[in-house]
Structure 1
Amino acid sequence: MSKRNLVIATVALLIANFMGGLDSTIVNTALPAIISDLNGIRLVGWISSAFLLGTAVTTVLWGRVGEIFGNKRVFQFSVALFILSSMLGGLSTNMVILIIARALMGIGAGGMVSIPFIIYADIYPNPAQRARALGWVTAFYTLSTVAGPLIGGWLVDALSWHWVFFINLPIGIISMLLLQFTYKEDKDKSVENSFDYLGAGLLSAALIVLLFASDALAISMVRSLSLLIIGMVILGFFLFIEKRSNHALIPLELLKNPRVQVQNVMMFLINGFMIGYSVYAPMWAQGLLGKSATMGGLTQIASSILLLVGTRLTAKLMIKIPYKRIVLMGTISIVISALSMTLATKAAPYWWLIVSGAFEGFGMGLSFTPMQVSLQDGVRKELVSVSTTFGLLFRTLGQTFMASVFGAVLSLNTASHVARSDGKITTDMINKLSDANTAEQLPQNLIPDMRTILFNGLHTIMLIGLALVIVSFIFNLVRKEPVKQPR
């Protein structure tokens, strides 16, 4: 491959990475407008959790599909799926269609995010060059999370929430075309058909059922517990099958390594709080403080910038001090963020959200890199790939399940308080309150009471988030570092 084609192919992959990162913050910024337009406060958690579940379930599968059909072709297919489902999302007229679109977007994102790392290994055989390319991946992702709130807020204010989905169409097409004309993949590869399809199917089924169990909390405790039991039975059957499989999707040897798996649990918990802040801080700014969609999106800026700062600082600290101590500093910063959100009152100033986000982003930047390296160094060479993928799965599941739980909590809290308002306040009013534009149409004398209802729900979410990060902090204090394996 010529140097020119190498650069263009890399840019093509970075554009897709940018689009994937952009989606998380740009959609969160538009959530208040979506809720208001589609009357969707009951299902708001599913907008995030459906996307994340699609990503989580398929991330571990896309690599195998790429081996069979070719990474280039599969990458382009995943991008095409992402942008077509984005169009469906933008054209949605109700929450059910939007949630289906988000699930399809998540499936596409699973390949769009994971396959590039395989292609990087192909076009950058030199480890030093590949490391620099992966540095650009982090930079582009951070840029997207900074730009997302600004772009999302502007699109909602100037056009409509539909355009936060339509914007993916030109970006995705550019990425596909650039890669098509610059990257030539070796097609003469023989692949042994040893993929654990049964295990993949059982794991996917278990995760989907468990997600429905978490969402059912807002409807029926009996239904939630029933789905939980069914999900756990399927998960148990998955483990039974994996124990007897010669090509297990997740080797039991990996699951039996407590020093590694405690870090996955910590990632689950920390990401649970992160999704709570990123989804509901913009709603807090708009619904409680009356800010615009753009200002709601800007609550994420400090988090994104400090995430990059924390990541850069971690690379230097890992040379000097133990990984566990770096993670300790990171979890302390995240605890401060969660604590500040639980102490915030209904009238807390806008800058309070910004500062909380700064601590959250900085803590994330400090925590994830050393834990990710430990997940790889703490297992033998043959398990490095599956350990890395399994860690990604846990991070995504933390966001997926807690997004669903938080949505259920907000829905239950809203319904409870609305029922006690003697018909003066409706759920539809709370939907409109979450968007500063439609809030102007509400009876002004009822807005203080409506903000109290919304605040109670958001405060409960932040309390749960604080509990998650405190447990993660305790785990880090008592855990032992994984033993670095020889290579």
Structure 2
Amino acid sequence: MPQPHSDEPAGQVLPFRKSLLAMLGVSFVVMLVALDQTVVGTALPTVVAELQGFEYYAWVVTAYLLTSVITVPIFGRLGDYYGRKPFVLASIVVFTVASALCGLATSMPFLVLARALQGIGGGMLVGTAFACIADLFPDSHVRLRWQVMLSAAFGIANAIGPSLGGVLTEWSGWRAVFYVNLPVGVLGLWFAWRYLPHLRQQAHGGPVRVDWLGALLIAVGLGAMQMSVELLPGRGFDAYTAGLLVLSALAMVALWHWEQRCANPILPVEMFRNPGLAPLFQLSVFAGFTMFALLLYAPLLFQGGFGLSPKEAGLLITPLVVCITVGSIVNGRVITRIRRPNAMLYAGFGMLALATLALSQATRAMPHGMLLAIMLVGGFGLGFIMPNLTVFAQQTAGREHLGIATAMLQSLRMVGGMVGTAIVGTLVTRSYTGGVDHAMAAAGASQWAARMGDPQVLIDKASQLSLLGELGQAGHNGALLLEQARMSLVSAIHLGLLAAGIAAAVGVWCAHRVPPVRLARTAEPAMAAE
């Protein structure tokens, strides 16, 4: 296989122009996943209304998340062995075809299955695309500068996703939300096929056996956990949800024992014993916990709790998603110039904790400028955290485990998001429902408690008018009861955000367990390019 040319810039495998084009391909891949995650949520209520299957509502998201979490470590490991380009190309094809199938769905079960297939493609993308950066740029200083492109792609997709989803749903129907992935997928496929080199480890040779039993145990463990996450807010901790959690724990214990005996484990347990990697994995869980809670419940706080319009709420959320990108750019400039790169992890988790805890105390009377500042601080915090976790893990894991280490960070961030969604969602649901039930019972209007107990009524103006009319005809002060429901929602979300803020604060404390990282300027041995 040909070796890299001698005139390539230090710290990168390809010349600048080819590196730029290769990174454009990877950026389109990242944008494909990020865009899908943000536009689909906006269209879900319309999807359910047309396809008639509210019992499958959560599974449209869950099916994608579950299959992607399972496949991320599988293809992260296979990419270490066979190179990442074949899997990047295959993942784009799978994701794009699945997006078309989602748009063609005629029933909710069909849509859930198509989303599961889309999750497989998404897991392949996440498990391989992020590791491509370390292949292309062995020098960590150079890598940090180029990762700005990924952060920009991720930030742009997050910034325009919710608005784009709403516009497409309103103008062209919900199916357009899935079809928008097709041109992005075609662009990503062309750039990746044409410009992304097939980099492989020179030392590897021979067939590799996939640890399918390990993959099955991961699927059972995470699948049972995710099902319990979905059921916990509504059912509470009953025998069924407890059984799912026990099944998840047993599968994880079995996975741990099997991976220690497996000759070719999909999940190398020694990575969790590595004093440099283990704390980074823990921090990824805490980051996912807080990030997902903030992204899910800040919009509900602004719209349902503070009574802002979707446009006003979108403007307040924009600094959070945009400053993730800006924070990554600033981080890349700063971290290579300071003696202790670990300080950026402290700063990131500290800012994230500060923003989440501040939002947990926000009121409707708080000036919008203050809310914008809180979102800005949270975005910068995430911008300091996410690229550094990736670079630190890649620096610590070395070339042999680079792909699986990167994939594990992404998987554990999603697992943290699942756990955070369960805990925060349960706190918000229980607190809000309890507050509404108490207010409605005190007013003698308990028969309307179920309808008021759905926070959607605080956002949907048509539902509000209908409910207020019924309450007025029955002699109740509907406006007062609606205001009490808003106050209950604000208190409930405050409680959930407080839990998320505590998780970020624990991240600040755990950051001290990360050994000092030195971002060496000497490039690692080059990989063979086909």
* TM-score tier (shorter): 0.7 to 0.9
Quote how far apart the aligned CAs of 1:272 are: 0.8
In the other structure, the counterpart of 1:208 is: 223
Shift in alpha-carbon separation, 1:454–1:427, aligned structure 2, 3 A: farther
- 1:196 and 2:211 aligned: yes
Shift in alpha-carbon separation, 1:463–1:35, aligned structure 2, 3 A: farther
Unpaired segments ≥5 residues, structure 2? 1-13, 441-445, 469-477, 525-530
Kindly indicate whether the alpha-carbon contact (under 8 Å) linking 1:149 and 1:298 is maintained by their aligned counterparts in 2: no
Kindly indicate whether the alpha-carbon contact (under 8 Å) linking 2:76 and 2:407 is maintained by their aligned counterparts in 1: no
In the other structure, the counterpart of 1:394 is: 412
Kindly indicate whether the alpha-carbon contact (under 8 Å) linking 2:436 and 2:453 is maintained by their aligned counterparts in 1: no
SS at structure 1 position matched to 2:277: helix
In the other structure, the counterpart of 1:245 is: 262
SS at structure 2 position matched to 1:322: coil
Q: Which has the higher helix share?
A: 1
Shift in alpha-carbon separation, 1:98–1:321, aligned structure 2, 3 A: farther
Quote how far apart the aligned CAs of 1:436 are: 4.3
Q: Which range moved further: 51-60 or 287-296? A: 287-296
CA distance in 2, matches of 1:47, 1:337: 30
In the other structure, the counterpart of 1:459 is: 494
Kindly indicate whether the alpha-carbon contact (under 8 Å) linking 2:394 and 2:406 is maintained by their aligned counterparts in 1: yes
In the other structure, the counterpart of 2:378 is: 360
Q: Which range moved further: 206-215 or 31-40? A: 31-40
In the other structure, the counterpart of 2:450 is: 426
Aligned residues: 485
In the other structure, the counterpart of 1:301 is: 318
Kindly indicate whether the alpha-carbon contact (under 8 Å) linking 2:316 and 2:375 is maintained by their aligned counterparts in 1: yes
Larger radius of gyration: 2
CA distance in 1, matches of 2:246, 2:280: 26
Deviations 1:281-301 (A, max 9, x none): 222232233444343333332
Q: 1:316 aligns with which of 333, 336, 342?
A: 333
CA distance in 2, matches of 1:117, 1:459: 34
Deviations 1:43-84 (A, max 9, x none): 876555543333221112224566899855543442343234
One-letter identity of the residue aligned with 1:194: R
Quote how far apart the aligned CAs of 1:302 are: 0.4
- 1:230 and 2:247 aligned: yes
SS at structure 1 position matched to 2:391: helix
CA distance in 2, matches of 1:456, 1:99: 34
Quote how far apart the aligned CAs of 1:365 are: 1.4
Kindly indicate whether the alpha-carbon contact (under 8 Å) linking 1:215 and 1:407 is maintained by their aligned counterparts in 2: no
Kindly indicate whether the alpha-carbon contact (under 8 Å) linking 1:433 and 1:450 is maintained by their aligned counterparts in 2: no
- Superposition RMSD in Å: 4.0
In the other structure, the counterpart of 1:59 is: 72
Kindly indicate whether the alpha-carbon contact (under 8 Å) linking 2:77 and 2:404 is maintained by their aligned counterparts in 1: no
Kindly indicate whether the alpha-carbon contact (under 8 Å) linking 1:333 and 1:360 is maintained by their aligned counterparts in 2: yes
Quote how far apart the aligned CAs of 1:275 are: 0.6
Kindly indicate whether the alpha-carbon contact (under 8 Å) linking 2:259 and 2:268 is maintained by their aligned counterparts in 1: yes
In the other structure, the counterpart of 2:151 is: 138
SS at structure 2 position matched to 1:326: helix
Quote how far apart the aligned CAs of 1:240 are: 1.0
SS at structure 2 position matched to 1:54: helix
Shift in alpha-carbon separation, 1:163–1:234, aligned structure 2, 3 A: same
TM-score, with structure 2 as normaliser: 0.77
CA distance in 2, matches of 1:473, 1:255: 20
Unpaired segments ≥5 residues, structure 1? none
One-letter identity of the residue aligned with 2:385: S
Shift in alpha-carbon separation, 1:215–1:13, aligned structure 2, 3 A: same
Identity, % of aligned positions: 23
Deviations 1:82-140 (A, max 9, x none): 23443455566887665554443322211233434566678889999877654422322
Quote how far apart the aligned CAs of 1:265 are: 1.2
CA distance in 1, matches of 2:29, 2:459: 30
Shift in alpha-carbon separation, 1:483–1:172, aligned structure 2, 3 A: closer
SS at structure 2 position matched to 1:423: helix
In the other structure, the counterpart of 2:471 is: none
In the other structure, the counterpart of 1:325 is: 343
CA distance in 2, matches of 1:94, 1:284: 32
CA distance in 2, matches of 1:2, 1:480: 34
Q: Which range moved further: 354-363 or 440-449? A: 440-449
Shift in alpha-carbon separation, 1:98–1:448, aligned structure 2, 3 A: farther
Q: Which range moved further: 388-397 or 175-184? A: 175-184
TM-score, with structure 1 as normaliser: 0.83
SS at structure 2 position matched to 1:226: helix
Shift in alpha-carbon separation, 1:162–1:461, aligned structure 2, 3 A: farther
